[in-house]
Amino acid sequence: MTGPTRILTVFGTRPEAIKLFPLVHALEADPRFVSRVCASGQHRDMLDQVLEIAGLSPDHDLDVMLPDQTLDMLTARLLTGLGKVMDEEQPDWVVVQGDTATAMCGALAAYYRKIPVAHVEAGLRSGNIHHPWPEEVNRKVIGSFAALHFAPTETAAAALLRENVAPETVHVTGNTVIDALRWITRRIGEQPELAEGLAGLEARFAGKRIVGVTSHRRENFGGGLEAIAEAIRRLAARDDLALIFPVHPNPNVRKVMEGALSGLPNVALLEPLDYPHFARLLDICCLMLTDSGGVQEEAPALGKPVLVMRETTERPEGVEAGTARLVGTDADRIVAEAIRLLDDPAAYAAMARAHNPFGDGHSAQRICDLLAINSAK
């Protein structure tokens, strides 16, 4: 290739934007590349929160979010919309991240145009196509034809090799979420006011131990979410605990959580927090209860124990390192595991140790260099 390499980075949800902003920053600063960004707008308010703090202005925004949109509708609109952008931009590479509908459709639209795909956070596998759903299949689809696979860990790289992905296309880079977490921590250090919005809650809950909660997985809709809400309700009956829960705006999540938990004195149901405030929550909590992917990576980096409210995880590294524990979505089990940790200082100390199995904070630069090397071939 002659001249700078044209990279089109595609993302649409909060976690993709968090995990790709360090790469977009690095691409923008690197004369080897022309960086273009397409936001699908699969998320709206939650995406805009990240764009703002990261200072990103996408070149395209497809604004595809509709309330409670079906997966078919979302997929169809993403595929046609992203294809049009690729026809206009004619990139040398399309970069996608993770396993969302935007990532899968971005990769597929590129494949239909014979544009090589670089997959960030490649190789995560739970081994179960229904947990997480539909993410396990989305990432397998991308992995089946990506030209470059940026695996966050050796475990993820090994999963790709087991699927007969060409070894020379697989690179262990670490996860860019650690780059993002370091970046935001630095920003908060420089400008503490970015994360001061929880001060009122912190005062209200003074003397209590804070438990952070997030939950949004589609496979938990219905019974799973109800059980999670019940577990939170029971934990909130303890005087020494306060649960801070930024609720995902998906109506399927909202109605369950608001129905079960509104008005409880030890529970704060919040709107989604922007990234600096979520980093603050990670900082002040003693424990996270979550079904999120990204939170399973960030909490260990900060030495915060995580109880993962899922049946499987594609991120075994946190469990192996001892900071994460898989507890499923049974209310009795969640409560028992949380209380065991909170009431047994030795069990707590064994989990509350900072580990960084997911990266060293330099993943974005590694990915840039690999894109440059592979473009020069």
CB of 135 to ligand UD1, least distance (A): 5
Which CB atom, from 61 or from 314, has the smaller least distance to ligand UDP?
Answer: 314
138 binds ligand UDP (CB under 6 A): no
Would strands 241-246 and 209-214 be described as parallel, antiparallel, or unpaired?
parallel
91 binds ligand UDP (CB under 6 A): no
Q: Is-contact 131 107, C-beta < 8 A?
A: no
The count of residues interacting with ligand UDP (CB under 6 A) is 16
Q: Say which entry of ligand UD1, ligand UDP, none residue 65 contacts (CB below 5 to 8 A, set by partner kind).
A: ligand UD1
Closest residue to ligand UDP using C-beta atoms: 292
Binding test (CB under 6 A) with ligand UDP, winner from 89, 179, 298, 317: 298
Which DSSP symbol is given to 167?
Answer: G
Residue 293 to residues 19, 106, 135, 246, 350: CA-CA distances in angstroms?
Answer: 11, 20, 11, 15, 22
Q: Is-contact 2 164, C-beta < 8 A?
A: no
Other beta carbons within 10 angstroms of residue 71's beta carbon come to 11
Which CB atom, from 58 or from 276, has the smaller least distance to ligand UDP?
Answer: 276
CB of 181 to ligand UD1, least distance (A): 17
CB of 31 to ligand UDP, least distance (A): 30
CB of 252 to ligand UD1, least distance (A): 8
CB of 37 to ligand UD1, least distance (A): 18
| Interaction mask 242-281, ligand UDP, x per CB under 6 A | ----x-------------------------xx-x--x---
Give me the active site residues, please.
Answer: 99, 121, 135, 216, 218, 248
Residue among 57, 166, 62 nearest 109 (CA): 62
CB of 13 to ligand UD1, least distance (A): 4
Please, how many CA atoms are within 13 Å of residue 9, restricted to the half-sphere of its CB?
Answer: 29
Q: Say which entry of ligand UD1, ligand UDP, none residue 298 contacts (CB below 5 to 8 A, set by partner kind).
A: ligand UDP
Binding test (CB under 6 A) with ligand UDP, winner from 12, 15, 106, 318: 15
Residue among 324, 358, 355, 329 nearest 341 (CA): 324
Q: Binding residues for ligand UD1, per CB under 6 A?
A: 13-15, 42-46, 65-69, 74, 99-101, 134-135, 216, 218, 249-251
Query: Whose structure tokens read 């409670």?
Result: 68
Sheet containing strand 306-308, strands side by side: 267-270, 241-246, 209-214, 287-290, 306-308, 324-326
294 binds ligand UDP (CB under 6 A): yes
CA separation for the pair 186, 357 (Å, rounded): 21
| Interaction mask 152-191, ligand UDP, x per CB under 6 A | -------------------------x--------------
Which CB atom, from 28 or from 48, has the smaller least distance to ligand UDP?
Answer: 48
Residue among 127, 126, 159 nearest 143 (CA): 159
CA separation for the pair 171, 371 (Å, rounded): 11
Which residues contact residue 86 at a Cβ distance below 8 angstroms, ignoring those fewer than 6 apart? 8, 94, 109, 110, 113, 115
Q: Which residues of the chain form contacts with ligand UDP (CB under 6 A)?
A: 14-15, 18, 177, 214, 216, 246, 272-273, 275, 278, 292-295, 298
